[in-house]
Amino acid sequence: MKIYKKTADLQKELQLLKKEGKTIGLVPTMGALHSGHLSLVNKCVAENDICVVSVFVNPTQFNNQNDLEKYPRTLDNDVKLLESVNCSIVFAPTVDQIYPEPDTRVFDFGQLDKVMEGKFRPGHFNGVAQVVSRLFDIVKPNRAYFGEKDFQQLAIIREMVKKYSIPVEIVGCPIVREADGMALSSRNMRLSANERGKAVLISQTLLKSCNFVPEKSVSELKQWVIDQINSEPILEVEYFDIVDGNTMQSINSWDDTDYPVGCITVYCGEEVRLIDNIKYLKK
Ligand code: PAF
């Protein structure tokens, strides 16, 4: 496995590999890797000749300085994990390698980024689009892999490649959960044992909520989920919405879509913001 910190060095290597006809897969990450990331890497390794994993905590997607500073950085451990799953190349650049000049691009995603994460974290998806488009430009991968835990992010990246005609196949990968159902996230590392114990209520409630579709109305189900989770004093729901899984827009009735998805963000304690989602099947 090779590790590159400089964009020009990585590009030189990739040019050689492409001349040999090798296909390139990219897994963009912010590091602090866990089994969820490794499931993306495993798929990328299986489907491409070369698997490139980027490890870069992107400052432009954080709208909260404290969140950026506290984001876990564990490069040595990340490198060991990536070696163990046969990753070919790690790209771990510094900020100036990704943004030699400040990135002032403003992306337009219509209504997709005006709701949920886009509404509660203004500018977040513009920052994601900046870094992901930069990485696509540097690596020029055939395929790129993203987790469905960041459900709205995946929709926005699909829209970005379509709208800006970027020739990359976007591959979405299912959420990986702990044995008790908790969605894996780098942010889980910041939870105390007590908080981690209580946070499982988020995924348990989402899972249970599936049993009430379509008997409860959309608004009744939303309220039920929020009440269940908020009944635990350490947890506070920031938003829970049931949306069309393609457009990300709220639905009012189960008949509004064939693809209803419940998307949630919950604060666990004062600082740790956890997200999760569930696809509802209409019986
Ligand atoms: O999902 C993430 O970890 C990040 O948003 C991404 C896609 C790596 C961009 O920084």
Strands of the sheet containing 272-279, edge to edge, are 235-244, 260-268, 272-279
Catalytic, out of 37, 149, 222, 273: 37
Long-range contacts, stretch 97-106, CB < 8 angstroms, 24+ apart: 97/5, 97/6, 97/7, 98/7, 98/56, 98/58, 98/131, 98/134, 98/135, 99/60, 99/134, 103/60, 103/130, 103/134, 105/129, 105/130, 105/133
**28 CA: nearest ligand 1 atom:** 8
Average pLDDT over residues 113-127: 97
**56 CA: nearest ligand 1 atom:** 10
Cβ–Cβ contacts within 10 Å for residue 68, how many? 14
pLDDT at 282 over 90: no
**Confidence at residue 187, expressed as pLDDT on a 0 to 100 scale:** 92
State the distance from the centre of ligand 1 to the C-alpha of 49, rounded, in angstroms.
23
Active site residue 34: no
pLDDT at 262 over 90: yes
Average pLDDT over residues 144-149: 98
* 100-110 confidence digits (pLDDT tens): 999 999 999 99
**Confidence at residue 213, expressed as pLDDT on a 0 to 100 scale:** 97
State the distance from the centre of ligand 1 to the C-alpha of 30, rounded, in angstroms.
6
What pTM does this model have?
0.96
Q: Name the average pLDDT for the chain.
A: 97
Which residues line ligand 1 at a C-beta cut-off of 6 Å?
28-30, 58, 61, 128, 131-132, 150, 153
pLDDT at 3 over 90: yes
Domains of the chain (ranges; CATH) run 2-173 (3.40.50.620), 186-275 (3.30.1300.10)
Query: Which of these, 282, 3, 275, 13, lies nearest to 147 by C-alpha position?
Result: 275
Whole-number Å distance between alpha carbons of 193 and 195:
6
* 154-165 confidence digits (pLDDT tens): 999 999 999 999
pLDDT at 126 over 80: yes
> What does the angle CA 141 – CA 143 – CA 149 come to, to the nearest 5 degrees?
120
* 46-92 confidence digits (pLDDT tens): 999 999 999 999 999 998 899 899 999 999 999 999 999 999 999 99
